[in-house]
Amino acid sequence: MTMQSSLDIQARSATTTPSPSVRHNAEVAKLIDESKCIGCKACQVACMEWNELRGDIGSNVGVYDNPADLDANTWTLMRFAEVEGQTEGLPFQWLIRKDGCMHCAEPGCLKACPSPGAIVQYSNGIVDFKQENCIGCGNCITGCPFNIPRISKKDHKAYKCTLCSDRVSVGLEPACVKTCPTGAITFGSKEDMVHYAETRVGELKERGFRKAALYDPAGVGGTHVMYVLKHGDQPELYSGLPKDPTVSPMVSVWKGAFKPLALFGIGFTALAGFFHYVTVGPNEVEEDEAVK
């Protein structure tokens, strides 16, 4: 999406100086209550409609997931997991998770991106890709702990859920939230959403889901898309939602300590050469003396 002038920028890819940030935007969050989801995919349709996305017609791969994976035209996707024997009295469960960008407080994509301003994090917490600055390298995929960004085959730009930053900036809720018929997706300030999630977790526990929990993983500084999970102790059950996601240490080293160290090493070598020349001096041959 293009720049939303009413949203301030908290972090900007490949940028070492502060971005416009004098205004204050309250931190927002989308809460997805998996226990209320009926798998109708209205959110997927709303996302396509609002964002004008039309993917190619795919093929049935034998499960309800359609399309089979996120792609440049599919920014949110219902993933259906069939689980047996996890809860007493419930021999079979269908765990449905709305997959998409988690809008991490410490986004690995933004850290890995080499192009200034191709990824921004607004002060309200939304992480947005600015395709006009994207060079198509795919480092965002390398940095993401949730396997979300996708490069388009058509324009070689990276795409993902924007958390409807265009709608949010003018005071509307994201399209998926607006359309959800069961109220499984809610949107508001992060504080309110955490509070509401705690209430829901309490209700689920009373209903016998003793391990129900809020998914707001601390490894990425918390997220601005959160889940209420019936099986909060086993997020992996939900089509491989990572239990303790973090930005890979390899990405942190590559994009963190290594770069200044490498530049220092290169600069140091060049300077060492210069000072060697002005102190020890050139290695010359005395032509007349040597040649006999």
Partner 1 sequence: MKYLQRYTEGERSLHWAVALLFILAALSGFAFFHPSLFWLVNFFGGGPWTRILHPFLGIAMALAFAYMAWQFWEHNKLSPQDSNWLKQWRDVIGNREDRLPEAGKYNAGQKVLFWVLIVCLATLVLTGIVYWRSMFPDFPVWLVRLASLLHALAATVLVIAIIVHSYAAFWVKGSLRAMLRGTVSEAWAKKHHPAWHREMNR
| Interface mask toward partner 1 for 124-153; x: CB under 8 A | ---------xxxxxxx-xx----x---x--
Q: How far is CA 245 from CA 108, 141, 218, in A?
A: 10, 14, 8
Toward partner 1, which CB reaches closer, 22 or 291? 291
Determine, following the binding rule CB under 8 A, whether residue 286 of this chain makes contact with partner 1. yes
For residues 38 and 250, which CB has a smaller minimum distance to partner 1 in the complex? 250
Dihedral (CA of 209, 213, 215, 219) sign: negative
With contacts defined by CB under 8 A, name the span among 19-27, 36-44, 77-85, 260-268 that binds partner 1. 260-268
From 193, 216, 226, select the one nearest 26 (Cα to Cα). Answer: 193
State the minimum distance, in angstroms, from the CB of residue 265 to partner 1.
6
The answer to whether 258 contacts partner 1 (rule: CB under 8 A) is yes
> 219: how many CB neighbours lie within 10 A of its CB?
15
Which is nearest to 101 in space by CA: 69, 164, 146? 146
Report, in Å, the least distance between residue 132 CB and partner 1.
Answer: 10
Under the criterion CB under 8 A, does residue 162 sit at the interface with partner 1? no
Contact 172, 61 (CB under 8 A): no
User: Which one, of 206, 190, 240, lies nearest residue 69 by Cα?
Assistant: 240
26, 38, 218, 262: residue in contact with partner 1 (rule CB under 8 A): 262
CA distance 163 to 28: 10
Question: Is residue 257 a contact point for partner 1 (CB under 8 A)?
Answer: no
Structure tokens at 106: 């410490």
Label the pairing between strands 28-33 and 225-229: parallel
User: Using CB under 8 A as the criterion, which residues of the chain lie in contact with partner 1 when the complex forms?
Assistant: 14-16, 112, 114-116, 133-139, 141-142, 147, 151, 156, 248, 250-251, 253-254, 258-260, 262-263, 265-266, 269-270, 273, 276-277, 280-287, 290-291
